[in-house]
Amino acid sequence: MIDILQGILSGGVRAGTPILYAMLGEIVSERAGVVNLGADGAMLMGACVGFITMAHTQDPILGLLAAAAAGALISLIHAFMVVTLRANQIASGLALTFLALGITSFIGRPYVKVAIDGIPQGAVPFLSDIPFLGPVFFRHDLLVYGAYLLALLIWFFLFYTRGGLVLRTVGESSDVAFALGIRTRLVQYLAVMFGGMCAGLAGAHLSLAYTRTWVEGMTNGRGIIAVALVIFSAWHPFWGVIGAILFGTTFAFQLQLQARGITLSPYFLDMLPYLFTLAALLVGAKMRKHAMPEGIKPIFSTTFAFQLQLQARGITLSPYFLDMLPYLFTLAALLVGAKMRKHAMPEGIKKVFEEVG
């Protein structure tokens, strides 16, 4: 029984690491007043580009750098859309997620069956020998240890440095920050790109350390889960660590049940991590000690309908390119819409897109 529990917790730490990286990046971004639902897309880009780089160079460092750069670059598009053009943050993030899905499916297709060595696991001397706790926390790859170090650094930065105070001020009220002489747009750009970089590293952990393979759409919505668990964490890095471990443990638990042939529906078992996420959101809704940054309240209080349609016409073009077309159109529409000021939004529907109360 102890061995089973130890295996579940150890697997939970590994499975929760990608969630933790993406969540930490999203905490920084949202603390600056920008919600990035494109975190899942940045994870996909990081997983794909990192894997391709690793497959060609066999250098884990280059793979990680490429993954971080890919995540930051696609998040730069989101920053441009929402910070400079003031486009809808929800629409832009979702469009980028599906755009990344099309891009990675296209460029990653030749690498689906490619094998790599990946990032090896390493035991921490002395600490890994501690009974029970050693195998759970101290026998993993370097990215696992890096995630918890990053959480500590972000906590210190947010609450004990001038830069963190500036970031939180921008997130609470960009007008006040601007009046104080803070370059609000630059702060938000850097925060969103940092969040994308973290999401890229999250994807790299999936493809280079956790599975050591590339599969289309391999994030399975983990980026969206990370955004949801930011609410559970109350925008605090340490609660984020707990949320990531709990989600990872739930994921590892359902894998253990499947491996042991427990007679439960595999569909129900696959639902468990996401049911946990919903439960975490219920808990997070009751946590008021760390309030949501004022700058993102209007985003979470909107009702936004997002519908995608694609009909097969038998056109002799790459299906991956065709899959990308609706999302390229969405980005183009946001670009045009951000510039259209002649016809104001009808007063009757403004309350749908603005904060209520």
CATH of the domain at 184: 1.10.3470
Residue 204 lies in a domain: yes
pLDDT for position 291:
59
List, for residues 149-159, the tens digit of each pLDDT value: 999 999 999 99
Q: Please return the burial class of 353, using the count of CB atoms within 10 Å of its CB with bins 0-12, 13-18 and 19+.
A: middle
Residue 193 lies in a domain: yes
Per the structure block, which two tokens stand in for 161? 């440095």
Residue 265 has pLDDT above 80, yes or no: no
Per the structure block, which two tokens stand in for 169? 């001020």
Residue 269 has pLDDT above 70, yes or no: no
* C-alpha distances in Å from residue 352, one per residue of 33, 102, 177, 266, 300: 20, 30, 27, 39, 11
pTM of this prediction? 0.80
The average confidence (pLDDT) of the chain is 81
List, for residues 9-31, the tens digit of each pLDDT value: 888 899 999 999 999 999 999 99
* C-alpha distances in Å from residue 157, one per residue of 25, 164, 172, 182: 13, 5, 17, 17
Residue 348 lies in a domain: no
Q: Please, what is the Cα angle at 74 between 337 and 171, to 5 degrees?
A: 70
Residue 180 lies in a domain: yes
Residue 349 lies in a domain: no
Q: How many structural domains is the chain composed of?
A: 1
List, for residues 141-187, the tens digit of each pLDDT value: 999 999 999 999 999 999 999 999 999 999 998 888 999 899 999 99
Amino acid symbol at 234: A
**Which structural domain range is residue 320 located in?**
2-342
Closest CA to 248 of 280, 214, 217, 288: 280
Residue 326 lies in a domain: yes
Within the chain, how many helices (H) and strands (E) appear? 15, 2
**Of the given ranges (124-138, 247-261, 293-307), which has the lowest mean pLDDT?**
293-307
Closest CA to 227 of 31, 34, 14, 39: 39
pLDDT for position 308:
35
Residue 334 lies in a domain: yes
Tell me which of 276 and 266 has the higher pLDDT: 276
List, for residues 330-343, the tens digit of each pLDDT value: 555 555 555 554 44
pLDDT for position 122:
85
Residue 47 lies in a domain: yes
Yes or no: say if 254 and 262 are a contact pair by the CB < 8 Å rule.
Answer: no
